[in-house]
Structure 1
Amino acid sequence: MPNSTTATTLGISEELLRRYDVAGPRYTSYPTADRFVEAFTVTQYEQALAQRAGGSLVGGGTPLSVYVHVPFCESVCYYCACNKVITRHHERAGEYLQALNTEMDLTLAHLGRAQTVSQLHLGGGSPTFLSDAELSQLMLDLHSRFKLAAGAEISIEVDPRTVTEQRLTHLRSLGFNRLSFGVQDFDPEVQKAVHRIQSFDSVASLMSQARALGFESTNVDLIYGLPLQTPESFARTVAQVAALRPDRIALYGYAHLPQRFKPQRRIDITQLPPAADKLHMLSGAIGGFIAKGYSYIGMDHFALPTDSLAVAKRQGRLHRNFQGYSTQADCDLIGLGVSAIGRVGATYSQNAKTLPEYYDSLRQGQLPVVRGLALTRDDLLRRAMIMALMCQGRVEFESIELAHLIKVREYFRPELEQLAPLQQAGMVTITPDAIEVTALGWYFVRAVAMVFDRYLQADRTRERFSKII
């Protein structure tokens, strides 16, 4: 992993910024979700579940993670690119919880009941849209179908505007041991511009209460590149967050894609900061958090040295999944709920993206999978290359060659040639045995990974992605 402290002090030329400020994937998976196809069928997903149940998957015995998507929010945040349903009608949650039960039962008919789960995550939307009673019922339903391992990571995304100390106490009593607070920015003018008002004091109070209740880890989500943000204003937010001492920090670059995400059309494009300012925000945040004792995990994550994510990084066990960096190096994922994405064996699958379509499939007694992908040998090989770059900042040729029975320099000859300009720019170092991302290259690690993306190299259609800076 490159020296991140050095990276924060590097000067990056305007020419280099212009050359590499291009659109590209975040690589929470490879192939990326935009490559999923409708030709992938429910039957293929069911077969993958059955193969896991029968222990016939390559690498059988991998840990199991469960993700539950709760799509409801009371109000819209203009930057949001999540699949959500904006409503104040909380009674809609009841029908959704019943549908989740149906989906779980249909899934377990192929997977088998009492599967041991080492990670459980509730995301959205806003899972805290659910009432305390509904959250209790959902957790009871999950416990009745899955076996949560001792020491399992049980996490939930929290909208600070929807929780109180009493609600945090209830979440702790349900077994949640990790919280992720959606903050994004503490500047009042930025908050107004994105329609998400929450005070620093309210978040600070919740963080203090979470610590007193014994939550093992707290995360704060931040976004740079929002309207009206400046390097100076975002530096203030970084200082405020560091003062709260969350165990983890997720720092994302805003992806302005109004053609795909309708709420973003409410953002005044003239208020968005230029690429140079975004780079300064990123650089300043990296420097600011490292100065306060945080480890730079990678592209968009920081953690205190004692947090399990930082430990996993030191031990070379980092992985990226659909929630970002993870502590489990290779984990099958069951995605439950509207639009949820799963990974089982060498397959990806995604559920229907609208509630009517999701409900309709379940009423017909069919899993709501509408698209996905069965990975080829080449996909698996390139995934290993890309994830090594994204997680360790280094690819050891020998380990790839032993696992995939290829010669890296022969198989990836064109890609290694494409890396030559990146090497000349000081972003990567290529030796006879490895590729390593440098401190400078860590700013542009997505550009390095993109070289090995066969789909992206084939069509060069990148409008669907955010800028890498």
Structure 2
Amino acid sequence: MTTTMASLAVPACQVPEDVLRRFDRPGPRYTSYPTADRFVEAFGPQDLAQALQQRCNGGAGQALPLSLYVHVPFCESLCYYCACNKIITRRHEKAGPYLDYLEREIELVVAALGAGQPVSQLHLGGGSPTFLDDAELARLMDALRRRFALAPGAECAIEVDPRTVDAARLERLAALGFNRLSFGVQDFDPAVQKAVHRVQPFEQVEALVRAARGAGFESMNVDLIYGLPQQTPASFARTLEQVVALRPERIALYGYAHLPERFKPQRRIHAEQLPDGPARLAMLGAALARFQQAGYVYVGMDHFALPDDPLAVAKRQGRLHRNFQGYSTQPDCDLVALGVSAIGKVGATYAQNAKTMEQYCDLIDQGRLPVVRGLALGRDDLLRRAVIMALMCQGELAFESIDLAWLIDFRRYFAAELEQLRALEDDGLIEIDAQGLRVTDTGWYLVRAVAMVFDRYLQADQARARFSRIL
């Protein structure tokens, strides 16, 4: 087990057709384990308060800096593919009252956690955080700085809808302390943009990228989605070339999850316009090949980064992790999540806030943390999380390291899982020897399927349509 995923080149996809058909099925993205659909309503405000207090009073994570996530749910326009929790409105006066409640939630968190906790990572997501105007963003940043201690050099990122900013606004975001931007692009093809109700020409984004570099932003991320309506391998190849020309420090590439029964906006997408499994795989393979050809490191399932970007460095050094925002540079960092529907991780717990504004505000009015569901992880959950994260982040697993860390005999504990993995080994997706297992170049396309073998909940559950497709 001396070869690491960081050293592997991932060639154009050559997954056999029969393997493709068998694995063209839903599966989790594993931004957490257990996955969020396993959260229970029995976990509530007091459970999160207890986890925060334990951290404050000397829990295992006390010495580690925090990561903060703030959810801003508002968007001016509906994107048909979107599965995020959002509120579509052009009434910008709604932002002020929401910030009132966010500040009150911050006070509730700090009351349990303690003031002045160091923060090394801040992420504003949505929705569209740039729905907030400059004064509102300044108010939010001031509220966070008053109650938390943003570390020197902290990564402060904000998701940006290119349709809502200009060069002057980017200068002001930099002045507020943001040093990383994430542009929601998805696709540059006009027909695709029209089909998903998100029209933003390449030239507009190109100008913003130039302006962001001039404003001194340390890093920019571009989000792309393959599998959208009207997409073809040829049209997506043109988008790939345009993204390469922009040369963002990071690229996030996601497969579109068409779940119209769960997400009402997706009902406006015509299923017959969606590319089929082979076309989706061709797009993924083309992206993997083109981005690596352009000098990007394939960080993992859906992320690419330039070699000197902290995400690529973390991959090389074995410090990579996944959290609810995707791949992260901080493997053991507690995540405090603020705002409607936000999901956080504190110690051995996950907690999710109320998904509706009404319930969120009502709980805060009661003086309670706005948590409506979550999970306290048991030892088996923590063990399996370690295994799944090793596969998702490093693409390999050393049996001895798990044995020593968890005081188990891996082969005995996971005997049933190892038996299931034999079929994946026969398909050429993994390699197993006496020391451990490694995901192959081909298997990296289907790494979610490898991780699923170790998901105790999923193995006992046939309702997999709740997830996006693996390919």
Deviation at 1:246, TM superposition (A): 0.1
Amino acid at match of 2:18: E
Is the 2:181–2:220 Cα contact (8 Å) retained in structure 1? yes
Deviation at 1:10, TM superposition (A): 4.3
Deviation at 1:2, TM superposition (A): 3.7
Q: Which residue of 1 aligns with 2:273?
A: 271
Q: Which residue of 2 aligns with 1:197?
A: 199
Q: Which has the higher mean CA deviation after the structures are superposed, 398-407 or 305-314?
A: 398-407
Distance 2:7 2:396 in 1: 14
Structure 2 residue corresponding to 1:227, chosen from 226, 229, 233: 229
Distance 1:465 1:122 in 2: 25
Q: Which residue of 1 aligns with 2:20?
A: 17
Structure 2 residue corresponding to 1:178, chosen from 180, 201, 206: 180
Amino acid at match of 1:54: N
Amino acid at match of 1:21: D
Q: Which has the higher mean CA deviation after the structures are superposed, 62-71 or 9-18?
A: 9-18
| 1:28 and 2:31 correspond | yes
Q: Which residue of 2 aligns with 1:162?
A: 164
Q: Which residue of 2 aligns with 1:291?
A: 293
Q: Which residue of 2 aligns with 1:459?
A: 461
Is the 1:3–1:439 Cα contact (8 Å) retained in structure 2? no
Q: Secondary structure at the match of 1:176?
A: coil
| 1:42 and 2:50 correspond | no
Q: Secondary structure at the match of 1:91?
A: helix
Deviation at 1:212, TM superposition (A): 1.2
Distance 1:11 1:346 in 2: 39
Distance 2:28 2:221 in 1: 23
Amino acid at match of 1:382: R
Q: Secondary structure at the match of 2:418?
A: helix
Q: Which residue of 1 aligns with 2:58?
A: 55
Distance 2:170 2:121 in 1: 20
CA-atom RMSD in angstroms: 1.0
| 1:143 and 2:138 correspond | no
Distance 1:463 1:4 in 2: 34
Amino acid at match of 2:198: R
Deviation at 1:76, TM superposition (A): 0.2
Distance 1:278 1:237 in 2: 14
- 1:184-231: CA deviation from partner (whole Å, max 9, x where unpaired): 000000000000000101100100111111111100000000000000
Amino acid at match of 2:191: E
Deviation at 1:3, TM superposition (A): 7.3
Distance 1:413 1:60 in 2: 36
| 1:252 and 2:219 correspond | no
Distance 1:60 1:383 in 2: 21
Distance 1:5 1:207 in 2: 30
Deviation at 1:169, TM superposition (A): 0.4
Deviation at 1:14, TM superposition (A): 1.4
Amino acid at match of 2:282: H
| 1:429 and 2:453 correspond | no
Is the 2:13–2:281 Cα contact (8 Å) retained in structure 1? no
Structure 1 residue corresponding to 2:11, chosen from 8, 16, 25: 8
Is the 2:429–2:443 Cα contact (8 Å) retained in structure 1? yes
Is the 1:180–1:220 Cα contact (8 Å) retained in structure 2? yes
Amino acid at match of 1:17: L
Within 5 Å, give how 1:70-469 maps onto structure 2.
70-469=72-471
Distance 1:6 1:154 in 2: 31
Q: Secondary structure at the match of 1:459?
A: coil
Deviation at 1:5, TM superposition (A): 6.8
Amino acid at match of 2:459: Q
Deviation at 1:56, TM superposition (A): 2.4
Amino acid at match of 2:415: R
Distance 2:343 2:9 in 1: 37
Distance 2:62 2:262 in 1: 37
Q: Secondary structure at the match of 1:387?
A: helix
Deviation at 1:259, TM superposition (A): 0.8
Amino acid at match of 1:191: Q
Amino acid at match of 1:11: Q
Deviation at 1:6, TM superposition (A): 4.8
